[in-house]
Amino acid sequence: PGNKEVEPLKYSKVARAASVSRQKVEGCIQGTMSLLSYCLGKGKNIALVLRDVGVLLIEGRRVTMKYFSIFLEKMSGKKNLEMDGLKIHQLLDMVVSQGVPLASLTSSGRVIVFP
């Protein structure tokens, strides 16, 4: 509800945090967005890997987020999440190992991976 204003990405701030030039950050982000747009337009399955967080999967009109267990452990401050409530089936579907082949997360077994 309500209008949300989109703030432009601060390339210089990202560049400082990543210790690279502003031009490199801008080129990488624009290139990634261009390829992402192209893949979505062609109906390709996409896995966008968010380092140390998880994987955003886009299959057709279905978008799902799979979180790495280590990320959820850091967020909760608990070492063994399965013992602390992740036995709920819906939550288990959202957790993935960092070593899992990404194509296995899709129904088609094919995916374009954005590292």
**The total number of structural domains that make up the chain:** 2
CA angle 40, 113, 18 (to 5 degrees): 105
Give the integer Cα–Cα distance in Å for 76 and 33: 31
57: number of Cβ within 10 Å: 20
Domain range enclosing 27: 8-42
CA distance 79 to 73: 6
In this predicted model, what pLDDT tens digit does every residue of 39-69 receive, in sequence order?
889 988 888 888 888 888 888 888 988 888 8
pLDDT at residue 83 in the model: 46
pLDDT for res 13: 94
Residue 79 is predicted with a pLDDT of 62
pTM summary value? 0.68
Angle at 45 between CA 31 and CA 100, to 5 degrees: 100
Is there a single domain that holds both residue 28 and residue 17? yes
Q: What is the pLDDT of residues 72-108, one digit of tens each?
A: 778 777 665 554 554 555 566 778 777 777 777 777 7
Instruction: Specify whether 33 is located in the same domain as 49.
Output: no
